[in-house]
Amino acid sequence: MQRSDFLPGVASFSGGWRVISLLESARAHNIAVIHQIPQSFKPAWWCRSGHAQTIWAATLRVMPSVPLKREQWETPDGDFLNIDRVSAKVGQPTLIVLHGLEGSSATTHVRGFLRAAFDLGWQGLGVNFRSCGGEPNRLRRFYHGGETTDLHWIIERLSKQDPNALIFCVGISLGGNVLLKYLGEQADGAPAQLRAAAAISTPFDLAASAHAFEKDSFNRIYMRRLVRSLKQKAFHKLKRYPDLADHRRLAAVRTIVEFDEVVTAPLNGFADAKSYWQASSSKRFLASIRRPALLINAMDDPLVPADSLPRQEEVAKNPRLSALFTEAGGHVGFVAGEWPNQPLFWAQESAIYFLTEHMKSA
């Protein structure tokens, strides 16, 4: 399959193609195991609905095994980032992986990509957003859906450390929004080493996704877990920064919308949640992206409403963008395969194929 087969705006592949995945058992013998990917995503028969796809991939996927080294990178503003690194030889490409809301580099989604980097002989960086690396960060602010300065700093650092090594990025869920916003902000100014990116289950419209958490009982279960985690971090911060937020209002927060209104917006200089969502949503940055970027989303994603996805004509206007918007797949699900003990993670394989094709063209 040629790179041109990733047509802007299309919802499925124009032809069958193959992905090389070096599995752990085969890697020791230098054997390439070939997986045939179907023309378009077909959900596993045992995992069909959007919620089933979402839950299975997040909770039942076996944690990929990959050798990691935890590093703490001191940021220019006096804070730090916890980075889980897959080591590689000097000059090899680097894959940067960004997690979703209240996730970390320890999620199966991120580890799957880090494993893929290891199999390819690439360096892999599992970036933990501030406060998500297993310990609270030092400064007042956390991370948020439009915060791109840390990603910018990481990419600049890598490009200076090894000027000959290519850089690729993957953003998952909220990490996809951060990644696409960064690419749009940088436009032609992105470092030359940054060759391509893939964003999976991106909430292109943060307002739509924030409100989607409240639409049904399943979504409210997801929301309660996330809000509980966010509030715990905010209350911990209040001990060091008593004026961070109003204690009573924070205690009353029950939804993502309320948390963004009470904490995220004022903490990061936005007038209100609506202003934060509008300024930070990646949808308005897509036209400015000047690096090849693959967008993978499912129409049945319970957390990213189908009507919030970029329209085909919006994607087609930018030749750097390729979209795979499938009927099924849930939120960061895309679980295929004949049997539960032999799942295929279609979005991961699709993203890795896309990135490696752009490595070949470098």
pLDDT of residue 357 exceeding 50, the answer is: yes
**pLDDT for res 23:** 33
**pLDDT for res 68:** 98
Angle between helices 174-186 and 149-161 (to 10 degrees): 70
**pLDDT for res 362:** 63
Average the pLDDT over 210-234 and give the result.
97
pTM over 0.85: yes
b or e along 56-72 (b: 16 or more beta carbons within 10 Å of the residue's beta carbon)? bbbeebeebebebeeee
Average the pLDDT over 33-61 and give the result.
82
Q: Per-residue pLDDT tens for 138-184?
A: 999 999 999 999 999 999 999 999 999 999 999 999 999 999 999 99
- Euclidean distance between CA atoms 309 and 296, whole angstroms: 10
Average the pLDDT over 340-362 and give the result.
91
pLDDT of residue 195 exceeding 90, the answer is: yes
Long-range contacts, stretch 258-266, CB < 8 angstroms, 24+ apart: 259/227, 259/230, 259/231, 259/234, 260/210, 263/230, 263/234, 264/142, 264/144
Q: Which domains does the chain have, with CATH numbers?
A: 3-204+290-360 (3.40.50.1820), 206-280 (no CATH)
DSSP per residue, 298-359: ETT-SSS-GGGSPPHHHHHT-TTEEEEEES--TTTT-EE-SSTTS-EEHHHHHHHHHHHHHH
Q: Is residue 338 packed enough to be buried (19+ CB in 10 Å), middle (13-18) or exposed (0-12)?
A: exposed
pLDDT of residue 34 exceeding 60, the answer is: no
**pLDDT for res 36:** 37
pLDDT of residue 30 exceeding 70, the answer is: no
Of the candidates 42, 16, 116, 176, the residue with the CA atom closest to the CA atom of residue 352: 116
pLDDT of residue 65 exceeding 80, the answer is: yes
* CA distance readout (Å), 312 to 147, 176, 208, 226, 321: 27, 19, 19, 31, 11
- Euclidean distance between CA atoms 123 and 130, whole angstroms: 22
**pLDDT for res 39:** 52
pLDDT of residue 290 exceeding 60, the answer is: yes
* CA distance readout (Å), 100 to 14, 55, 103, 109, 249: 30, 15, 5, 9, 25
Average the pLDDT over 255-264 and give the result.
98
Q: What is the mean pLDDT of the chain?
A: 90
High-pLDDT (> 70) share of the chain, %? 89
Average the pLDDT over 208-222 and give the result.
96
pLDDT of residue 112 exceeding 60, the answer is: yes
The DSSP code for 102 is T
- Euclidean distance between CA atoms 182 and 205, whole angstroms: 15
pLDDT of residue 14 exceeding 50, the answer is: no
Residues with active-site annotation: 173, 301, 331
Average the pLDDT over 46-69 and give the result.
97
Token duo for residue 194: 């940054």
Amino acid at 239: K
**pLDDT for res 359:** 85
High-pLDDT (> 90) share of the chain, %? 87
